[in-house]
Amino acid sequence: MHLESSFGRIHYEVHGPDRDDRRVPGAEPLTVLFAHGVTMDQRTFESQADALRDRCRVVLLDLPGHGRSQKVDLKTDYSARAANVINELLDELDAQCVVLVGQSLGSTLCQRAASLSPDRVVGSVHLGGWSLYPSTSPLLSLLKPVVALSVALFPRKPLYSLFAAHKALKPHTQAYLREVATAAGKTHIFRLTLDMLRDMTAGIPRRLEHPMLICHGDHEAGFIRRHARVWHGAQPASTLAVIEDAHHIANQDNPQAFNEQLIAFLDSLP
């Protein structure tokens, strides 16, 4: 399926019961939307869709400029526009009871989408993510020239292999990341990485009040593990989970362990 959004044509899929298939008469069905990371596509959440399709409505999308969605100008304010697309898709699906699940870049987009439309978001899950509230020090922008130079000097093939090794532990996950990174290209990685740094320093205006599951792989980068603990400590009604035998893309490295945490979190919601 496709959505003609304000940020180009978006490819998405819906799995599980439709909106009128309610387990409790008159109850609003739960919609769980998954947002992936840089260069990736909805395939990264196939195991989660399989695990949840009999429990709730599952929405998978290729973010703007990714997968089968339309290519877009990555020089624009990507995060804000992509977050708007998430809400446009939820409007299109008439989803009023939503859990947002974001991996890496997807986490920041889900936070921004929830801040723009808080009434329908009853919970969110953040895998290898970074809190947008409070905003990060503007000094983080000093990393931009370092990132730009590093990406520019790295040959393409070694860059894609390093990109995969930096984010995945298991060979099948690394192979997937090399595939999508090669298809996306260096410019794509470079511009979206800079946009994520910009998004961290911009932040969102207020703390999100809904329950959260904050998780990361046990092989995750140290600075993300430390930030997850700080985020959990500052975020009321949050749960911190470490996915064993997994790296940044923990939902693919160890889908069974991640799915167990995800289902337990969904079951804990009112």
End-to-end CA distance of the chain: 31
Average pLDDT, the chain: 92
Sheet of 31-35: strand order equals 2-5, 8-15, 57-61, 31-35, 98-103, 121-127, 212-217, 238-243
Alpha helices (runs of H) in the chain, residue ranges in sequence order: 46-52, 78-92, 105-116, 144-153, 156-167, 171-184, 186-202, 222-234, 250-253, 255-268
Q: How confident is the model at residue 158 (pLDDT cuts 50, 70, 90)?
A: confident
What integer pLDDT is reported at residue 136 of this predicted model?
86
Calculate mean pLDDT across residues 202-224. Answer: 97
Per-residue pLDDT at 194 exceeds 70: yes
Per-residue pLDDT at 15 exceeds 60: yes
Calculate mean pLDDT across residues 234-263. Answer: 98
Least confident window among 32-46, 106-120, 148-162, 243-257? 148-162
- Stronger pLDDT, 83 or 144, i.e. the higher one: 83
In the block, residue with structure tokens 């997994």: 246
Which residue ranges form the domains of the chain, and what is each CATH number?
2-136+203-268 (3.40.50.1820)
Q: How confident is the model at residue 270 (pLDDT cuts 50, 70, 90)?
A: confident
Whether the ω angle into residue 171 lies within 30 degrees of 0, i.e. cis, is: no
Neighbours of 257 (CB within 10 A): 20
Give this prediction's pTM.
0.94
What integer pLDDT is reported at residue 48 of this predicted model?
98
In the block, residue with structure tokens 């792989």: 217
pLDDT tens for 63-116 read 999 999 999 998 888 999 999 999 999 999 999 999 999 999 999 999 999 999
